Amino acid sequence: MDFGLSQEQRQLQDVFQRYLSERVPIVRVRALTETLEDGATAALWAELVELGAGGVLIPTDHGGSGLSLFDAALVAEELGRAVTPAPFLCNAVMAPVALLAAATPAQRSEFLPGLARGALRVGVAATETYSRREGARIWLDDGRLRGHALMVADALGADVFLVAAGDADLLWVEASTPGLEIAPLVAVDRTRSLAELTFDGVEPSAILGGPSGGRDGISRMLDAGRVMLCADLVGACDAMLEQAVRYAGQRKQFGRVVGSFQAVKHLCAEMAAELEPSRSLYWYAAHVAGEGAPDASLVVSHAKAHISEIGSFVARAATEVHGGIGFTDEQNLHVWFKRIGLDRQLLGGPDVLRERAAQLQGWELPPAAI
């Protein structure tokens, strides 16, 4: 039995890899991330939508390609390899998955075509469903949203926000709605846009699936997003490993290339040995999440937690291979280092996801240990 990619999947990955290597080199990435203004990144997203990124998961009758979550993860790996500053996570994956899982047919017909065309930009506010900090939370008060949301993903340039209020209500909120305050965040990784949202009696334009009908949508949306981050991590780590090996073969010390030293050889070999199984792990997570398997959330939680740890190791080891220059922002390697750092924490870090996995398996800490 062949557990590799099909010819169509290899072609899909190759199309995005060639496009990104030619049109989105690191010089362009740096230029796009020097400012928080949306114009330049919006132009890049429009290019990727033309390539099919925006509608990868959206059914053909709504203007998309109707591909699988696994196919979307292959695209995400290439975007991570190129540290692409584009809102793929929320617009191409999390929002469509939530709409397909929780929206009514009328809501799907209204929202999905705009996402597929790139005419509609969506940010996702769901951090408070799995981790609360500084008392932040969102709730419905007589049909209006109140509260505070942190780490809202793909917020820059968003026309609407997909908001999870608690673990059951999934709401569609126009960015221009009175009472909504948007505060952009300057993250360490500037290839992703984040914001804090404050809701002061905000009236949502739609409740997906009706009152309290968003529970399955929230769960599937988060699982899909975490799979994309796993793929993004693997792509970014691949790029860092490639740069480390190339540098080790060029940099000379004591009259020899540093790649000839045993310690450097071991570092590169360990990175490759840790990284390759991670690809298989995210492939499996993408498969079970896409199929809606009963253990999908458990598998995805373990995958994201483990691959995040591997990402941290590869980022650190690749930087060490570059020596002192690897820790400076002038070295391009640092752009991938920061991407991996944010990917690790976005939608839940290893500790949060391992705790979630324990809860899904019915494990609880004894009272004395709490």
Beta partners for residue 123, in sequence order: 161
Q: Does domain 215-364 have CATH number 1.20.140.10?
A: yes
What CATH number is given for 7-117 in this structure? 1.10.540.10
The pLDDT value recorded for residue 40 is 66
Enumerate residues 6+ apart whose C-beta is below 8 A from 156.
Answer: 36, 38, 41, 87, 123, 184, 193, 195
pLDDT band for 151, please (50, 70, 90 cuts): very high
Judge if 122-207 and 215-364 fold alike in CATH terms: no
Q: Does domain 122-207 have CATH number 1.20.58.760?
A: no
The pLDDT value recorded for residue 185 is 86
DSSP 149-183: EEEEET-TT-SEEEEEETTTEEEEEETT-TTEEEE
The pLDDT value recorded for residue 363 is 84
User: Above 60 in pLDDT, residue 1?
Assistant: no
Average of per-residue pLDDT across 350-365: 88
The pLDDT value recorded for residue 305 is 97
What is the spatial distance between Cα 83 and Cα 333, in angstroms, rounded to a whole number?
Answer: 10
**187-219 confidence digits (pLDDT tens):** 888 899 999 999 999 999 988 876 556 788 999
Domain spans in the chain, listed from the N-terminal domain onward: 7-117, 122-207, 215-364
Task: Name the more confident of 117 and 211.
Answer: 117
The pLDDT value recorded for residue 261 is 65
Average per-residue pLDDT in the chain?
A: 89
Enumerate residues 6+ apart whose C-beta is below 8 A from 40.
Answer: 31, 32
The pLDDT value recorded for residue 119 is 94
